[in-house]
Amino acid sequence: MTARRPAAKVPFVLDFLGRAYPEAGILLAYRNPFQLLVATVLAAQCTDERVNRVTPGLFRDYPDPRALAAAPQEAVEEVVRPTGFYRNKAKAIRGLAAAIEARHGGSVPGTMESLTELPGVGRKTASILLGACFGACALPVDTHVGRVSYRLGLTASKDPVKIEQDLAAAVPKEKWWEFATRLGWHGRRICVARRPKCSECGLASVCPKNGVR
């Protein structure tokens, strides 16, 4: 089955992912789009679990864009310190909050164009917001989605933008969100970066193991 064209194996992949990870979703804890947006920024080069330990205190002290934008840089740094790169992250989320307040009256916008116009928000982050909070057909390509897609032969690229284009062409649009979230879980649990658990993988029969040593 490994000789199939990429799009030909998508139904098999979708079926497996649906059975293996029916509960898959965002692992970051949030109550509204603003909280998810900030948490996503903090999650860069940090685990979701650690971010989830930090954000309750952050959002207790600064519950909305106006409060976070007005917060002292040093105070925000101290709260987000456990997530790493805390000075840059504190500056980033304060700037992001200020932009949301100034441009959108304190409400996180719900389109790809308006989200990616916000400072520090790229397509992956915008896609996460659109899929999780706005019910849009979104296809976020994080590290896990990119790695597993490449290994499966669904893309020949390691560039997130090109990977997104390849997956969007191969996966039915109405399945984008569930595909991305479930593939991401598979990447965390089975198709890990180092020493993937190929003997335990339900996708082994369609996987050429690109890049696996």
pLDDT tens digit sequence for 25-56: 999 999 999 999 999 999 999 999 999 999 99
Alpha-helical regions (H) of the chain: 6-20, 33-42, 48-61, 65-70, 73-80, 86-104, 112-116, 123-133, 143-152, 160-170, 176-189
Residue 7 banded pLDDT, cuts 50, 70, 90: confident
Average pLDDT on 19-30 reads: 96
In a domain, 192, yes or no: yes
Predicted pLDDT at 118: 96
Average pLDDT on 162-169 reads: 97
Domain span at residue 76 reads 33-107
The answer to whether 28 and 43 are in contact (CB under 8 A) is: yes
Predicted pLDDT at 2: 42
| Average pLDDT in the chain | 95
Domain final residue, candidates 85, 107, 129: 107
pLDDT at 128 over 80: yes
Sign of CA dihedral 25, 172, 139, 31: negative
Cα(103)–Cα(97) distance, integer angstroms: 10
pTM for the structure as a whole: 0.92
CATH of the domain at 160: 1.10.1670.10
Number of compact structural domains in the chain? 2
